[in-house]
Amino acid sequence: MEFASKQEEQDYYQHVASEQEFLEWYKKQEHPIYQNPSVTVDMVLLCYNKSTDQIKVLLIQRRGNPYRNSWALPGGFITASESTGDSVIRETKEETGVTISAKNIEQLHTFSTPGRDPRGWVITVSYLAFIGEAILSAGDNANQARWFTLERKDNQLYLTSGEIEIILDLQTQKSLGKDDLAFDHNQIIIKAFNRIANKMAHEPQVLQVLGETFTITEARKVFAKFLGVDYRSIDHSNFKKSLLDFLEEVGERPAGVGRPSKLYRLKEDFREN
């Protein structure tokens, strides 16, 4: 086929040729792909330590520029053969050693404010996931991955690990302390936290941080952490009533002081997102 101009050729394939012809032609063309953004994924991965009663979020320390030595969410660049969900699972595994199932991730938000990455045009798709404390050890220290405790006081979030303390304001989404997260990861964490707090009463997937089975009181403690209150201020009886629709009894926990507590797990329907 002969064309008087490139424009005419394009017109032909776009508007006259069949879709199959168009695609064969399209794949042979040079594409102005230099205009495309880099796309990353980021994972807000939460767990809970029953013995210390602490919510934890997994962060990695960046080993290279930009934001070298800053703490950041695990994540990285996507590849063409994966969905963003697959990418974030792969990147989390690579950077932290933690394996997450595709069923247990939830897409949060896509961040694209110009200038959010000093390297240039980069947008990120953020995800949220919960894992039980059994996998807590998977944070690979050699690889700079560390669990930060996540504590809510009033309307501030405190992320702490050793000497490092990052303070985020839930309203303004600003960082208040001496330490800071890389990129706009403070916004992502706040988005995740608010999402969980707002919907946990109706969609209690957050209880996955308790592992396969848990007691009512453990669930109360997790809820209390996200509400920023003492767990005893949540009435045991009423709490149980409100959550029972989502739970099924699976036995008793024999050990410990006091009356043995019953063990529950999330019903199948609510274990996935």
Partner DNA sequence: ATAATAGTGTCTTTTAGACACTATCGT
Partner DNA sequence: ACGATAGTGTCTAAAAGACACTATTAT
- For residue 67, CA distances in Å to 20, 52, 63, 75, 118 come to 46, 31, 9, 14, 9
Q: Whose Cβ is closer to DNA: residue 174's or residue 253's?
A: 253
Look at residues 154, 151, 157, 153 and name the one whose alpha carbon lies nearest to residue 181.
157
Q: Which residues are at the interface with DNA (CB under 7 A)?
A: 215-217, 235-238, 240-242, 254-262
Burial grade of 204 (CB within 10 A; 0-12, 13-18, 19 or more): buried
Residue 73 makes contact with a copy of itself by CB under 8 A: no
How near is the Cβ of 232 to DNA at its closest, in Å?
9
Residue 6 makes contact with a copy of itself by CB under 8 A: no
Only one of the segments 31-39, 95-103, 137-145, 224-232 lies at the binding site for a copy of itself (rule: CB under 8 A); that segment is: 31-39
The β-bridge partners of 149 are: 56, 160
Q: Which residues, in sequence order, are CB contacts of 36 under 8 Å at separation 6+?
A: none
How near is the Cβ of 199 to DNA at its closest, in Å?
14
Binding residue for a copy of itself, selected from 90, 93, 109, 271, defined by CB under 8 A? 109
Binding residue for a copy of itself, selected from 74, 85, 139, 204, defined by CB under 8 A? 85
Q: Whose Cβ is closer to DNA: residue 120's or residue 256's?
A: 256
By a kind-dependent CB cut-off of 5 to 8 A, residue 136 interacts, out of a copy of itself, DNA, none, with: none
How near is the Cβ of 174 to DNA at its closest, in Å?
31
Residue 176 makes contact with a copy of itself by CB under 8 A: no
Subset of 125-164 contacting a copy of itself (CB under 8 A): 125
Q: Please work out the total of residues on this chain that contact a copy of itself, with binding judged by CB under 8 A.
A: 43
Q: Compute the distance between CA of residue 208 and CA of residue 56 in angstroms, rounded to an integer.
A: 13
CB of 265 closer than 8 Å to CB of 248 = yes
Residue 245 makes contact with a copy of itself by CB under 8 A: no
Q: Whose Cβ is closer to a copy of itself: residue 151's or residue 272's?
A: 272
Residue 3 makes contact with a copy of itself by CB under 8 A: no
Residue 178 makes contact with a copy of itself by CB under 8 A: no
Residue 258 makes contact with a copy of itself by CB under 8 A: no
Q: Compute the distance between CA of residue 87 and CA of residue 76 in angstroms, rounded to an integer.
A: 8
How near is the Cβ of 37 to a copy of itself at its closest, in Å?
6
